[in-house]
């Protein structure tokens, strides 16, 4: 698996294939075409969220079923291991797919060998990302990052496996971190890249997707689309809440009457500056007094009918002040 992170565009790119095929792919070889199983560009944080998903019992069954002694003496467990591995590979979770490939490769390499603790340990190490959720680990790190380095926080076992740096031809060249055994070194690289930029993983309060944010404590939005969608929802909720409020709805209608016309006049450079200043002063005075009158109505200190009549008068007043202007 090869991983490239783009902090500027908030994307991650994951490529899965044999190491030699990935190398040929990066070199731009076309004859024959490199065999690449996965090449996906995704929003940053997607791979980390995949590490939050687990299948602990199934993954243990897979590791157990591929042990050499089990292969020869427990065909039922071997069959179960193959089924679990096939399910992992068929999922949309790329971490699971990589783990499934590594399990199968390890099984092919050791099935005819005598069972040893080293073989069993390797199988257990391969399934670690599927067996253990890293969500709580991420949340805990957010609480201690100011006084703890990543090595001490994660523990030495996360640094037991190698990763390589490879370059994809292009202008500029793209840097990838690559592993052919455990996904853990890519996980460490991912965290280190994000945290050294003083960024954090956070859940979008609109869609719930994990994304890279500038704060660990204040929830935000993963994209401009989510932010605007939330604004629309907030506006709709507000509109729904004031439907039965005559004072509020009439105030808003009168305010928008002034606001829309003022907005048009502000864009017109031919409008006399003196008249524009007079209108701005009148608009501010209207807004302040209308807000106060509306508040009195809502507090039952004034009559709503009188307030609505006053708002109608203010529309007429604006028309008088803006007479002759290009509206």
Convert the pLDDT of each residue in 7-65 to its tens digit.
Answer: 999 999 999 999 999 999 998 888 889 999 999 999 999 999 999 888 888 889 999 99
Within this chain, do residues 125 and 152 fall inside the same structural domain, yes or no? no
Q: State residue 219's pLDDT score.
A: 82
Would you say residue 327 lies in a domain? no
Q: What is the pLDDT of residues 54-104, one digit of tens each?
A: 888 888 999 999 999 999 899 999 999 999 999 999 999 999 999 999 999
**How far apart are the C-alpha atoms of 191 and 177, rounded to whole Å?**
13
Within this chain, do residues 105 and 138 fall inside the same structural domain, yes or no? no
Would you say residue 211 lies in a domain? no
Neighbours of 259 (CB within 10 A): 13
Residue numbers of the domain that contains 12: 2-49+133-198
Angle at 107 between CA 106 and CA 110, to 5 degrees: 85
pLDDT of residue 242 exceeding 70: no
**How far apart are the C-alpha atoms of 220 and 214, rounded to whole Å?**
9
pLDDT of residue 2 exceeding 90: yes
SS3 154: helix
Per-residue confidence at 123, pLDDT binned at 50, 70, 90? very high
Q: What is the pLDDT of residues 251-267, one digit of tens each?
A: 989 999 999 999 999 98
Final residue of a structural domain among 116, 131, 146 = 131
**How far apart are the C-alpha atoms of 160 and 185, rounded to whole Å?**
8
What is the C-alpha R_g of the chain? 31
Per-residue confidence at 146, pLDDT binned at 50, 70, 90? low
Contact assessment for residue 18 and residue 34, using Cβ atoms and an 8 Å cutoff: no
Within this chain, do residues 61 and 121 fall inside the same structural domain, yes or no? yes
Per-residue confidence at 132, pLDDT binned at 50, 70, 90? confident
Would you say residue 210 lies in a domain? no
Within this chain, do residues 8 and 139 fall inside the same structural domain, yes or no? yes
Within this chain, do residues 316 and 247 fall inside the same structural domain, yes or no? yes
User: Highest mean pLDDT range out of 12-21, 133-142, 147-156, 265-274?
Assistant: 12-21
Q: Which sign, positive or negative, has the C-alpha torsion 240, 243, 245, 246?
A: positive
Would you say residue 84 lies in a domain? yes
Burial class from Cβ neighbours inside 10 Å (0-12, 13-18, 19+) for residue 230 reads middle
Q: State residue 109's pLDDT score.
A: 92
Q: State residue 148's pLDDT score.
A: 62
Would you say residue 209 lies in a domain? no
CA dist list (Å): 133 to 60, 97, 239: 14, 16, 42
Q: State residue 48's pLDDT score.
A: 92
Within this chain, do residues 96 and 159 fall inside the same structural domain, yes or no? no
- Helix extents (H) in the chain: 19-27, 46-50, 56-65, 68-73, 75-90, 94-110, 117-126, 128-131, 135-144, 150-154, 184-196, 224-241, 246-266, 273-298, 304-321
**How far apart are the C-alpha atoms of 190 and 195, rounded to whole Å?**
9
Final residue of a structural domain among 131, 165, 188 = 131
Within this chain, do residues 6 and 44 fall inside the same structural domain, yes or no? yes
Q: Out of 31-45, 72-86, 140-154, 164-178, which region has the weakest mean confidence (pLDDT)? A: 140-154
Q: How many domains does the chain have?
A: 3
Beta-bridged to residue 16, according to DSSP, are 38
Within this chain, do residues 108 and 59 fall inside the same structural domain, yes or no? yes
Within this chain, do residues 73 and 39 fall inside the same structural domain, yes or no? no
Stretch 228-249: mean pLDDT: 79
Work out the mean pLDDT of the chain and round it to a whole number.
89
Within this chain, do residues 87 and 113 fall inside the same structural domain, yes or no? yes
Stretch 284-298: mean pLDDT: 92
Task: Supply the angle between the helices 184-196 and 135-144 in degrees, to the nearest 10.
Answer: 30
Q: State residue 164's pLDDT score.
A: 93
Within this chain, do residues 43 and 156 fall inside the same structural domain, yes or no? yes
Within this chain, do residues 30 and 65 fall inside the same structural domain, yes or no? no
Would you say residue 85 lies in a domain? yes
Contact assessment for residue 13 and residue 30, using Cβ atoms and an 8 Å cutoff: no
Q: Which sign, positive or negative, has the C-alpha torsion 114, 115, 116, 121?
A: positive
């Amino acid at each position: 698996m090869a991983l490239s992170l783009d902090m500027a565009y908030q994307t991650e790119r994951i490529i899965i294939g044999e190491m030699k095929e990935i190398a040929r792919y990066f070199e731009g070889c076309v004859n024959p075409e490199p065999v690449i199983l996965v090449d996906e560009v995704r929003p940053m944080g997607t791979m980390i969220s995949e590490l939050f998903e687990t299948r602990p019992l199934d993954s243990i069954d897979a590791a157990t079923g591929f042990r050499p002694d089990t292969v020869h003496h427990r065909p039922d467990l071997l069959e179960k291991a193959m089924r679990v591995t096939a399910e992992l590979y068929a999922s949309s979770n790329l971490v699971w797919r990589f783990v499934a490939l590594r399990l199968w490769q390890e099984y092919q390499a050791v099935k005819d060998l005598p069972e040893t603790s080293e073989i069993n340990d390797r199988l257990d190490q391969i399934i670690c990302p599927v067996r253990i959720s890293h969500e709580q680990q991420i949340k805990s790190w957010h609480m201690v990052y100011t006084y703890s380095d990543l090595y001490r926080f994660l523990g030495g076992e996360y640094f037991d496996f190698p990763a390589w740096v490879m370059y994809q031809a292009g202008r500029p060249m793209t840097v990838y971190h690559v592993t052919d055994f455990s996904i853990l070194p890519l996980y460490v690289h991912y965290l280190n890249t994000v945290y050294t930029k003083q960024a954090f993983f956070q859940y979008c309060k609109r869609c719930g997707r994990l994304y890279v944010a500038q704060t660990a404590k204040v929830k935000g939005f993963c994209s401009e689309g989510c932010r605007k969608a939330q604004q629309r929802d907030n506006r709709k909720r507000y509109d729904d809440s004031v439907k039965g409020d005559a004072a509020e709805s009439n105030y808003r209608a009168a305010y928008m009457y002034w606001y829309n016309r003022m907005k048009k006049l502000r864009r017109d450079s031919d409008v006399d500056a003196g008249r524009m200043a007079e209108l701005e002063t009148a608009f501010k005075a209207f807004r302040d007094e209308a807000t106060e009158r509306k508040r009195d109505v809502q507090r039952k200190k004034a009559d709503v009918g009188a307030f609505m009549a006053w708002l109608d008068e203010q529309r007429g007043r604006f028309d008088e002040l803006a007479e002759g202007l290009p509206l």
